[in-house]
Structure 1
Amino acid sequence: MKSFRSYLAQAIRAAAFVTLACTFPAAAETVEVAPGVQVTKRSFTAPMNEQPFFGFAAKTAEQKAEDEKFVTAIIGASGSREKAFGEITKRAWIAIQAGKVREAAVRFNQAFLVSPEQSSIYHGFAVIAQARFSDFDAADELFKIALKQPNPVKALKADYGRLLLIAKRPRDAQEVLDQAVKETPDFSDAWTNLAWARFQNGDPAAACAAAEEAAKRRPSNNSISDLTAVRNVAQCK
C-alpha cells in the first residue's frame, strides 16, 4: 500500500487539472470525546477499533474494563501517561508513513484512551478519515479540532493544507500553508504544498519560489516526486 503522503501527492497533482467532487453529509449528532471537544458522530464500514473513536460504538462494561486495564498497563510500562501516549503515537505515525492505515487507526484509538485531548489524536484520525474512508468532511472537521488542541506536531498545517488542495479549495489551502511555512520554515513538505497552492491559485512564479525553498530544505523521500511535479507544471527554471 502506498504511504499517506504518496497517496496525497498523486491526488494533488490530479487536482491541479480536474475538478474533484466532494459530497458532504448533513448536520448530524455530535459527541463529546474529550473535555470541551465535540465531534460529529460517524461510523464507517470497518472493525470498531479501526474507525476513528472506535466508531462511536457503545461499549459494554467488559469492554470498558479492558480499556482501563490497557491504559493502566501501558502507563505502568512506560513510566508516565505522557510517555505512554508518545510511544503509541510514534508507532501510529510510523504506520501512516508505511501506508498501514488500519494499524495506524488501532494505534490512534489506543492513544485516544490514554490522552483524548491531544492534537495528534484528531490529526491522525483526520488522515485516516480521508486516506481510508475518503470522507473529506470528517477530515476537515478533525483537522480544525487538531489545530486547537495541545501539542500539535509540526506537520499538522502542512497536512491540513494538503487536504484542502485535494478537496479543490486552493485559496483556503494557501492561507493555511502560509501559516505553516511561517511557523515551521524548516519543513520542506509545507513549502512543497504551498507551491501547489500558489500554482492552483494562478501564480506560477510564486509557486516556483516556494518550490525553491522546499528544495533547500531536504524534502522527504515521499515528497520528492511531488516537488518535481509542481516545478514541471509551473515551468520553473
Structure 2
Amino acid sequence: MSSFRNYLAQTIRAAALVATLAPTLAAAAETVEVVPGVQVTKRTYSAPTNEQPFFGFAVKSPEDKAADEKFVDAIVAATGSREKAFEETSKRAWLAIQAGRVREAAIRFNQAFLISPEQSAVYHGFAVIAQARFNDFDAADELFRVALKQPNPVKALKADYGRLLLIAKRPRDAQAVLDQAVKESPDFSDAWTNLAWARFQNGDAVAACAAAEEAAKKRPSNNSVSDLTAVRSVAQCK
C-alpha cells in the first residue's frame, strides 16, 4: 500500500495552484462523532458529497442508507471478508492518489469509511484529500492527528504528516514527527527525505545531509528522487 507521493517541491507548486480555492466551512465549528469515540470538526466544501470527506456530513435518507448497506454487503461478499473489502477499497484509493485522480480517491475513501470507519487509513486518506483538493490545512492536520490514534496505520502516515507540516511552514513540528517516522520505519526512504527537508529548514544542513544520505541508501521511489536531489543541493551536501 502506498500513500500520497508528490513530495515537498511538487506539493508546494500544487498548493500554489490551488491557493485561491478557499474551503467553504460551516458557519460555526461543530464536531461530529464519525465512529464511536472519534470526533472530528464538521467541514463541508463545494463538491459533490461523495467527493468530500465523510460524504460532506450530509444527512442520509433511508434510501441512501440502504444503498450504503447494499454496497458493503456486495463488496464483502466479493472479497470474502470485511477486512479484505477494506484493503481492496483503500488500495484503489491510494492508487488514485498516486495517479493524481483526487476525486476518484475521495469516492474510494468514502467507500472505505462505510466498510471500516475506525481504520487509520480512512482519516489519513481524508487528510490528503482535504489538503490536496480543498487546500484546507487545518482539516488535514486534525485528520492526520486522528489517523495517528486509529488502528492499522500505514507505514507512510508519519512521513506524510511531517510533509504536511513542512508545507504548512511548521518545520519544528515536522521534525518531531519525522524523527518518529524514521525510528519506526528506518527503511522508508521517503521519511528520511522529508526529515532532511525539516532539518534543513530548522537550520541544520549537516544533519539534513545525513538524513539525505540515509534516504539515498533506502532506494527512494521515483517520485521522491527529484525532492531528494533538491534537498541535497540546497544543503550543499557532498
- Quickly name the TM-score band, shorter chain normalised: over 0.9
How far, CA to CA, are the matches of 1:115 and 1:8 in structure 2? 31
C-alpha contact 1:191 1:211 (8 A) present in aligned 2: yes
How far, CA to CA, are the matches of 2:192 and 2:5 in structure 1? 14
How far, CA to CA, are the matches of 2:166 and 2:123 in structure 1? 19
* TM superposition score normalised by structure 2: 0.92
Shift of 1:158: 0.1
Report the equivalent of 1:10: 10
How far, CA to CA, are the matches of 2:7 and 2:231 in structure 1? 15
C-alpha contact 2:159 2:194 (8 A) present in aligned 1: yes
Shift of 1:13: 8.4
Alignment-mate amino acid for residue 129 of structure 1: A
Report the equivalent of 1:99: 100
How far, CA to CA, are the matches of 2:48 and 2:13 in structure 1? 32
How far, CA to CA, are the matches of 1:68 and 1:40 in structure 2? 25
Report the equivalent of 1:119: 120
Report the equivalent of 2:205: 204
- Poorly superposed stretches of 4+, deviation over 3 Å: 11-15, 23-27
Report the equivalent of 1:33: 34
Structure 2, unpaired ranges of 5+: none
2:187 equivalent to 1:186: yes
C-alpha contact 1:30 1:40 (8 A) present in aligned 2: yes
Q: 1:167 to 1:184 in 2, by over 3 A?
A: same
**Structure 1, residues 85-133: CA drift from partner, whole Å, max 9, x if none?**
0000010011111111110000000000000000000000000000000
* TM superposition score normalised by structure 1: 0.92
Shift of 1:74: 0.7
Alignment-mate amino acid for residue 96 of structure 1: I
How far, CA to CA, are the matches of 2:12 and 2:179 in structure 1? 17
C-alpha contact 1:12 1:162 (8 A) present in aligned 2: no
Structure 1, unpaired ranges of 5+: none
Shift of 1:12: 5.2
Shift of 1:59: 0.7
C-alpha contact 1:101 1:132 (8 A) present in aligned 2: yes
How far, CA to CA, are the matches of 1:178 and 1:27 in structure 2? 36
Matched length? 229
C-alpha contact 2:8 2:227 (8 A) present in aligned 1: no
Report the equivalent of 1:155: 156
Within-5 A mapping of 1:158-237: 158-237=159-238
C-alpha contact 1:4 1:99 (8 A) present in aligned 2: no
Shift of 1:6: 2.4
Shift of 1:9: 3.2
C-alpha contact 1:4 1:131 (8 A) present in aligned 2: no
Shift of 1:35: 1.1
C-alpha contact 1:52 1:109 (8 A) present in aligned 2: yes
CA RMSD between the two structures: 2.1
Shift of 1:188: 0.2
